[in-house]
Amino acid sequence: MIDNMEENIQCTDELKEECGVFGIYNNDDEDSGRVVYYGLFSLQHRGQESCGIAVTNDTIVKQYKDMGLVPDVFNSDILDKLTGKIAVGHVRYSTAGGSLRQNSQPLVSRYLKGALTISHNGNLVNALQLREQFENEGFIFQTTIDTEVIAYVIARERVKNPSIEEAISRMMSIVEGSYALIVMSPKKLIGCRDPLGMRPLCIGKRGKSYILSSETCALDAVGAEFIRDVEPGEIVVIDDNGINSIKTHCGKKKSAVCIFELIYFARPDSFIEGVSVYESRKEAGRQLAIESPVDADIVIGVPDSGIDAAIGYSEQSGIPYGKGLVKNRYIGRTFISPTQSQREDGVKIKLNALKSAIAGKRIIMVDDSIVRGTTVARLVNLLRNAGAKEVHMRVSSPPFMWPCYYGTDVPTRDKLIACNHSVEEITKIAGLDSLAYLGVDKLGELRLGADFGYCDACFTGNYPTNLPPTHEQEDKDNEVEIRKSPKFTIL
């Protein structure tokens, strides 16, 4: 046994979160725990609140997880004890109220057929209804996350069906929403994506071992070869016989890959659905330069996810690209800090202006998005105080107008600045000389010619699934309040 390690319960994420999952089926007698550790380290950008690793050798599951970053949670002594043929890991962040160790992943459960371990990225839209059904049947929940609902559905279906993969297939007919899952049973590693393919998951190979990962950058980090993406609706089963694919749920619905993976979430060196994230973001910048040109002396990007689009804007416009903002590398992404006050504190110490590069110049500042509006005014003040003559902002995504229910921390409409202010008003509030967003009709260009459907509901309100019943009413109420209330500032 491992000190402070849990063989049993605990789990994952709450509503509106983004996470990273990684798993290995080890056929090379390698150190599985350490391979997952390096995989999670490379997925740290997807979640900086908690992390965990679980390993198994047939009947025994060993697990360690805690709040914090991957290198802070794990050390050599812990990893030395995380040995086993199969291993899965998870990095996580949550919204306010869900920042608890008990909600960290992987989720390890025990039931009639043995141990079931799940790492989950995404959110279900019918989790509350399913949870209510289970509670009425006497089930006890030890977390507040929908991953535990998934575990109960799989366990119930496994008792009635001959294999874990059949149980997962049945689960996919019951739950609705977004999910990229890695499931570890005593003898199998299984990956699956929801039928819309909203969250990414790919397959890699390292020697004789197989790997599942949220992003291809993690495959590169552990020296694995990218094989392919898991298809929307596909179940991939890895065991001693190799890989088996189950496509019962494939092709029944048009795919709806989260476009925000290309805009913000994924690392620039990753490929999503075969598309280079770096080149996609450059294309967003090029489209901005075509749609919203402005005379200026220098184009700068807001570190880090605005930089690639800024390069694209520079290349298209012919205006030189330069470094205008310096990032404190030891501060996490303010967008994924769990509370508003933490986001605001993070902005204050995260960035500083490079005075020698911007003094006396007309600046085009490119960023990936404006959500609540927390950061914009401070960035403009930084640049003005450093001597910028003009500050023009270009955003490589459309205005956020609707909340996300599929695993992205896009808040309710009353907290979205674009719902409460026009572009002209935001320009004035933030102290900008001009502001322009990427057009919704240009989002398809980010696919760089690849043929897959994408979800843009946070920009358009065109949701690809049913919504949670409580949220449907909340959205209507919020929309009424927005119309009734006077304009207000969220900066």
pLDDT in tens, 142-166: 888 899 999 999 999 999 999 999 9
- Give pLDDT, residue 174: 97
Cα–Cα dist 119/342, whole Å:
26
Active site residues: 19
* Tens of pLDDT, residues 225-252: 999 999 999 999 999 999 999 999 999 8
- Give pLDDT, residue 246: 98
Under 8 Å CB-to-CB from 257, ≥6 apart: which residues? Answer: 196, 197, 198, 200, 232, 272, 273, 452, 453, 454, 455
Q: Which helix (H) or strand (E) holds 63?
A: strand 60-67
Please state the φ and ψ torsions of residue 57, each to the nearest 5 degrees: -125, 85
Rg of the Cα atoms in the chain:
23
Low-confidence ranges of the chain (pLDDT < 70): 1-17, 94-99, 331-348, 470-491
Cα–Cα dist 274/447, whole Å:
9
CB 394 within 8 A of CB 439: no
- Give pLDDT, residue 471: 54
- Give pLDDT, residue 336: 52
- Give pLDDT, residue 99: 65
Cα–Cα dist 25/56, whole Å:
10
Q: Domains in the chain, ordered, with CATH?
A: 20-255 (3.60.20.10), 278-451+465-484 (3.40.50.2020)
Indicate the DSSP class of residue 264. Answer: I
